[in-house]
Structure 1
Amino acid sequence: MAHDSGSEHADRRASGALEAEIMAVLWSVGEPMTAGAVQSALAPGLAYKTVLTVLGRLHAKGMLERERVGRAHAYRPRQETAQASAEQMKTALDRGHDRAAVLQRFVQSLDPADEAALRSLLASGE
């Protein structure tokens, strides 16, 4: 029984990582995308049904808006989710005694693509 519980936990963690990847794709494109388009933008080998399930979960959580496009739905991040994420980061900075340490831990947790995007934003002054 313990083995099943561990497996569920691993599946949840993988699902959370996939949710983050899907949100990153949707934010980067900046326009509504169908499940097929999201699937094409992700790593090869990911099942369409898996992408559709995760999109449905994100919509149910209120992180995505969806609109009917033909027989499918197109998804886009709710603007409030970006604001909420920014506010969470600001709260973490405000609570920390050493703001530089909080920022350093955040940057160390980024994958290379996100780190490069952050560096580009900082360099451009946006």
Structure 2
Amino acid sequence: MSVNGLGELEAAVMDVLWQVGSPLPVREVRNRLTTGRTLAYTTVMTVLDNLHRKEWVLREMHGRAWHYRPAGTREELVARSLRRVLETTCRPDVVLLHFARAASDRELAVLRQVLDERAGGDR
């Protein structure tokens, strides 16, 4: 597995879409992939359909072809994935405790900053 629960090919497709920054048809995504192997058009189409189902990409019809774009920035989609993990666990508080105990000093500083901002906004 690669980026946040995505498979290696899914992550490679997302990298292409993030790098380009504009909607791409399947054929163009396929042409830009640098996986070291030749992929069938239908393989890339299936990956994009799966990413659409997982809400990682949005698609719009242009002529007769779907054009795909990321549903958000890398950071936004990773944060959404983390949120979904917490929402689907029976003990999110315990998961957060384990995360906090394993967090780096930099990660803890970011968490402190956000908590301080939220506390200041409640006054």
Report the TM range for the smaller structure's normalisation.
0.5 to 0.7
How many residues are treated as equivalent by the alignment?
86
Moved segments of 4+, more than 2 Å? none
**Compared CA separation, residues 66 and 96, structure 1 to 2 (3 A):** same
Q: TM-score, normalised by structure 1?
A: 0.57
Superposition deviation, residue 82 in structure 1:
3.4
**Compared CA separation, residues 68 and 98, structure 1 to 2 (3 A):** closer
Superposition deviation, residue 86 in structure 1:
4.6
CA distance in 2, matches of 1:30, 1:21: 15
For structure 1, the 5+ residue unaligned runs are 1-14, 103-126
Aligned to 1:99: 104
Q: TM-score, normalised by structure 2?
A: 0.58
Higher relative contact order (CA 8 A, sep 6+): 2
Higher helix share goes to which structure?
1
Q: Deviations over 1:42-73 (max 9, x none)?
A: 13511111000000000011111000011100
One-letter code of the match for 2:29? V
Provide the identity percentage.
39
Which residue among 7, 26, 29 is the counterpart of 1:16?
7
